[in-house]
């Protein structure tokens, strides 16, 4: 018992040390960014460009608009970094700007464009019993045959996710695709934890309902295993 308590204490201390180290590293990077360091800006782009683009794309559903908006996000970051006060993490602050810019672009899109949604398949994966949303949207190096079979699933999930109403879709994207904690999402969206959980539950339910008919029709053909005793593939949107 004593050993178990000691190990728990060591683990907590290690986690605390890691968190302190991460905060110190981020503070150093922020200081470099504020001083205009080119190396720091290169690090920022390398570290955050792809996740920001992915987040923006899943709000706008158009690769060209997502690319333009992502560029605008980083312009806002570069212009605003000297005013960044560190009350939120750098990641939270950048994601908040990304969601704001993407939401503004989406509102403009609905007012002026009204054009057809564009999809760009990227590959997906399945685990034989159920598929999670993040796994479905990530290419894990499948064979060409598997990719061809599963691309339809990924495209369908992307398409149906795009139909989920805001703000529920953004909650699902941040939690189930970006893998952020409830606390991080609450900071980014500037809402309570209860609101985050409520939006996430409603978003997952809406997506699951939209996918049920498709899964029932295409499950076996696309390699989605059936849950024991069930007549349709088991959809698992989120894991908590």
Same fold flag, 27-112 and 130-229: no
Q: pLDDT of 220-239, one tens digit each?
A: 555 554 444 344 344 455 55
Measured from the Cβ of residue 79, the count of other Cβ atoms closer than 10 Å reads 9
Is the per-residue pLDDT at 154 higher than 80? Answer: no
DSSP class of residue 98?
A: H
Query: Is it true that domain 27-112 has CATH number 1.10.1740.10?
Result: yes
**Fold exhibited by the domain 130-229:** Arc Repressor Mutant, subunit A (1.10.10)
User: 72-116 pLDDT, tens per residue?
Assistant: 999 999 999 999 988 888 999 999 999 999 888 877 655 555 444
Report the alpha-carbon distance of residue 37 to residue 43 in Å, rounded: 10
pLDDT value at 177 more than 70? yes
- Residue with the bigger pLDDT between 66 and 118: it is 66
Helix (H, G, I), strand (E, B) or coil at 9: helix
Q: Residue ranges per domain, the chain?
A: 27-112, 130-229
Distinct helix (H) and strand (E) counts, the chain: 9, 2
**Separation of alpha carbons 222 and 152, rounded Å:** 8
């Amino acid at each position: 018992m004593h050993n178990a308590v000691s190990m728990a204490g060591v683990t907590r201390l290690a986690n605390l040390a890691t968190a302190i180290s991460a905060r110190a590293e981020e503070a150093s990077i922020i200081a470099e960014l504020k001083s205009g360091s080119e190396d720091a800006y290169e690090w920022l782009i390398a570290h955050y460009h792809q996740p920001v683009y992915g987040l923006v794309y899943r709000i706008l559903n158009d690769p060209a608009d997502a690319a333009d908006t992502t560029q605008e996000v980083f312009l806002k970051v570069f212009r605003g970094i000297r005013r960044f006060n560190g009350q939120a993490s750098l990641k939270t602050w950048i994601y908040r700007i990304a969601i704001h810019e993407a939401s503004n672009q989406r509102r403009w899109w609905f007012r002026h464009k009204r054009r057809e949604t564009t999809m760009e398949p990227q590959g997906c994966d399945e685990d034989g019993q159920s598929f999670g949303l993040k796994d479905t949207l990530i290419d894990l190096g499948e064979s060409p045959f598997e990719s061809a079979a599963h691309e339809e699933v990924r495209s369908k999930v992307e398409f149906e996710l795009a139909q989920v109403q805001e703000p529920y879709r953004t909650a699902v994207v941040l939690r189930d695709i970006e893998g952020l904690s409830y606390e991080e999402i609450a900071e980014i969206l500037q809402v309570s934890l209860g609101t985050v959980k409520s939006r996430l539950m409603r978003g997952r339910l809406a997506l699951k309902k939209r996918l049920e008919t498709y899964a029932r029709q295409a499950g076996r053909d696309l390699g989605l295993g059936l849950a024991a005793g069930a007549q349709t593939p088991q959809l698992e949107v989120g894991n908590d």
